[in-house]
Structure 1
Amino acid sequence: MTSATSTDSATDTAAGGASLLERLGDVWLELEDHLAKVPVLQRLDDGTVTLEDYLRLLFNLRQQVIDGSLWIARAASNFDIDHFELRAAAIKHAEEEHRDHFLLEADYVALGGSRAELRAGRKNVGSEALSGYLFTYASRPNPAGLLGAMFIIEGLGARRAAQWAARFQEVLGLADNQVHFMTYHQEADGAHTGDMEAILTSGLIDDATADEIVRCAQVVARLYALQLEELDR
């Protein structure tokens, strides 16, 4: 990463002159293709999803969600003073995220699930891979590439979570307090996405960092879809 005066690579990159946001947009389209093949989301789309499907989804998501603020906090601790803006943003983000799993737990219990069983659960193979990658990346010096991870994860909250919640309510007749985790993230992650895009377009990102951001987004997009594919495994 460089100062804003030394590069304009947030606008023009080595990838054929495409902007960083355009490159990340291509990664998002790849993610959408993967999500369209996830069985539980296919059942949600066609209206055959069951309450058991929704409980399984929450159960599996919780095991990864609880790690979210932890890898962000680790990333914050590894930014040096030359990356103060990213360190400050990561600290703020970790503080905002660290209670999210309580919202998910409340939904699960409101559906009749056991909080004790939820907390005793383990990550599925996709969640293991996703969390392992994120913690390893966050342990690097100045892990600015994690902006790509946040682009994917926060983007899912901002763009898809409320849609999924509305569809679960439509098909299963759920109350608002049974889908609060997903509906909350439309607003919260929408704000996070706006903050992140301001950084991505600020001129602070050099070509090498832009490549790292895109690569991280690619990996996280694939692993996030994998955790949805591998429910309970």
Structure 2
Amino acid sequence: MAVALHLSDLEKMSWIAGAGSFVTGVSSLVVALTVAHPPASRAVQPTPVRAEDESEPVIVHLTTSASRIGARAAGALTGVAWWVGLCGSLLVLAYLAGNPVAQIRAELVAMDPRMPLLLMVILVLACAADAHSGGRDTLIIDADGLSLADRRWISWKNRSVRLNWAQLDSICVRAHPDHGGHHIAVRFKDPWAGRTFEYEHGFKEEHDWRTVLALSSSKLEVLSTVRAALVRYAGDTYQK
């Protein structure tokens, strides 16, 4: 910022103003694109849906459209912050390395403005895409198994998961050892299938159990709904 204030030339000031407008425009564009393309069948409220028919699946909405849009917007702003911090750090390092302010100003003027702007776009898009990267948006429990649906519109990889009861030796809802939340954890009948799922979906193994989903301790209604659904559909596979 100190270097920028020394730029009195009209062309230099125009470049700075244009860069600021571009920063604001990219952030707004990321949010607008996310809002303009809502995925189908997204939940409005993060509340469990209990099926009146015993044969119907139990659906638990873990996130909302608003929370996913907010995560994208926060990710875009994080990318802008990284860009500002990186550019500022480079200027400070150049000054501490003994380069005079006049030389730094000259190098800034000579620099192709597309390069730092391209860097900003890459950081904004990367942070926005990585935001809310869990992809565990909807939990579905039915007579055949358990599903985790990835409802994100923008993602590097669809992280939807399907587990059939026939694949599992057991499933449980256990308290996390470090905090008040709970985890849905499973054991596979076939160890190779467990390792494959760990590789494909990132399930962590702890004492022969693989964590499928973390449940917040603040959503007691969700926790009770999940347990009731597992009792109904998982049968002897469910360990209380």
Instruction: Verify same fold: TM over 0.5.
Output: no
* Bigger relative contact order (CA 8 A; separation at least 6): 1
More strand by share: 2
TM-score, reference length from structure 2 = 0.27
Structure of greater Rg:
2
Normalised by the length of structure 1, the TM-score is 0.27
